[in-house]
Every structure is written in C-alpha cells, then in structure tokens.
Structure 1
Amino acid sequence: MSLAQTADVACTKCKFFDDHVAQMQAKDDGLCRYNPPVNQPSEKAHGLWPVVSRTDWCGHFSLDGAATAGNAD
C-alpha cells in the first residue's frame, strides 16, 4: 500500500509539522520543519520555513512519535 492510500498521511500528523498558529494567516496552514529555512536575497531578511496545508504530505512524511506512542498496544 502506498502512502497516498493511507488515511494517516497528512502534514498535521507528521513529526516535522509546526502548528505555528500565531504567525499563520490561515488556520489550516503550518510550517514544515524538515529542511532548514530558505535564505532570502537580502542580508537582513529572515529565512522562511515552507508553509504547508494540514492535509498536504510529502516523501519525508514521518508519523509524530508523540501522537502514536499512546496507541501502541
């Protein structure tokens, strides 16, 4: 079964997803913390983390260990 066919695959369930609500314009968005922030052209500009939707997913998807730890029987 591929990841695309699994209901548990979504950025919101990934250990690299940061639900940074205070800085997000849309409540369904978050930050992907898998890779380092992307540098900006100006020296004084801050790096930016990629903004992703809670329902997005990618090839780096990894279930959040904290979310799954309580479900192991």
Structure 2
Amino acid sequence: MSNLSCSSCAFYEDHIVNQGKADTDKGLCRFNPPVTQPEPDARGLWPVVTSTDWCGHFEQEEN
C-alpha cells in the first residue's frame, strides 16, 4: 500500500521557516488558495500541515 499522507501528495510543499531551512515535519498545503487575513494589507497564508496529515484531496506526487 502506498503512503497516502501529505508528504507524498502533489500539493504538499516543504515549509521553509524564518531561518531559511525546511521544517522536516511540516509543509504547506497548496490545494486551496491561501487563507485571507483580517487586515486589508495582510498577506494570505497557506495552511501548514504535518507530513503525516492527510485529506480527501490527496493526489499522488509524480516522480
């Protein structure tokens, strides 16, 4: 059986933290658009997920 977690999903992207290195257990879900913020000048944020999370939008990453 294949790994159906976020880390092997086509919409998962490694999360680069402020120090410029990837957080090994967290990533960004790029399936849906960013979530808007309450202030008009604030940037939208992509949902942060753990590599072992999963959802119904999973699509196998192509190698």
Which bracket does the TM-score occupy, shorter chain normalised?
0.7 to 0.9
CA contact (8 A) 2:34 2:45 kept: yes
Compare the two structures and name the one with the higher helix fraction: 1
TM-score, normalised to structure 1, is: 0.73
User: Unaligned regions of 5+ residues in structure 1, if any?
Assistant: 1-5, 67-73
Give the structure with higher Rg (CA).
Answer: 1
1:25 Cα deviation from its structure 2 partner: 8.4
Larger RCO, structure (CA 8 Å, separation 6 or more): 2
Aligned residues, how many?
Answer: 61
CA distance in 2, matches of 1:18, 1:29: 9
Compare the two structures and name the one with the higher strand fraction: 2
RMSD: 2.0
TM-score, normalised to structure 2, is: 0.83
CA distance in 2, matches of 1:22, 1:40: 19
Moved over 6 A (4+): none
